[in-house]
Homo-oligomer: A and B are copies of this chain.
């Protein structure tokens, strides 16, 4: 028998993956959590049937959501991740020696537990002494912490259902208050090919709050369309034009200092979403 998993990526088109083994499949208090071992991409985490991360290509997302923001800030010491229970973003954050504390605020303890068990390559840094795990609602956490973090990374699921409140103006205002004076915010913000309206709205909402708002892109094979957007809001430092020449070279597979600048140059139809 062959087992194939199917993930709808856009209405009436889907990706299918041949599955070697289903490692976890459970309903948590918040979502359906599945970890499978696929032939093509190795182990894969799905939440509510949507691919979150795979061993084969996780590095792109985790490097790009992290290093652009952390290298833009001259001295990021305290960093908050909202969501991101797999731990990949924390792993990348802790590559920066300036970071003294990286807080992971994840609503679903089961995600952390199962990723620690089945995705150690990704979750490894959650045991680091500079990492602090807080199980709870990201919106509440951000509201209760003012002027505290140099960088906030919103490493959430898609803007439907549980994570809906993590996209939009009212949350971005709370984020701004939670950031320090020169603070920087970054979030994953979907595929401009498939969800141009979401990209456009999120960019506008961020722009209403932050003096500097920028969108950048990266190629991620297992995300819908394979070409993904991230939106940044910054109080002071322009990520596209930051002088990062003195920043140490990081051990990465996707991010480079040259790409740090180039990834902000957008295809025309994406540029048009930011006008």
- Is A127 an interface residue when CB atoms closer than 8 A count as contact? no
> Contact partner of A221 among B11, B16, B17, B193, CB < 8 A?
B193
- Is A144 an interface residue when CB atoms closer than 8 A count as contact? no
Q: Output the least CB separation between A137 and chain B (Å).
A: 33
Closest residue of chain B to A259 (Cβ to Cβ) is: B265
CA distance A14 to B5 in the complex (A): 10
A residues near B (Cβ < 8 Å) are 6, 10-18, 38-41, 57, 60, 191, 193-194, 217-221, 223-227, 252-256, 258-259, 261-263, 265-269, 271
- Residues B217 and A219 in contact, CB atoms below 8 Å apart: yes
- Residues B16 and A40 in contact, CB atoms below 8 Å apart: no
CA distance A78 to B261 in the complex (A): 35
CA distance A12 to B271 in the complex (A): 35
- Residues A41 and B13 in contact, CB atoms below 8 Å apart: yes
> Contact partner of A15 among B13, B38, B261, CB < 8 A?
B13
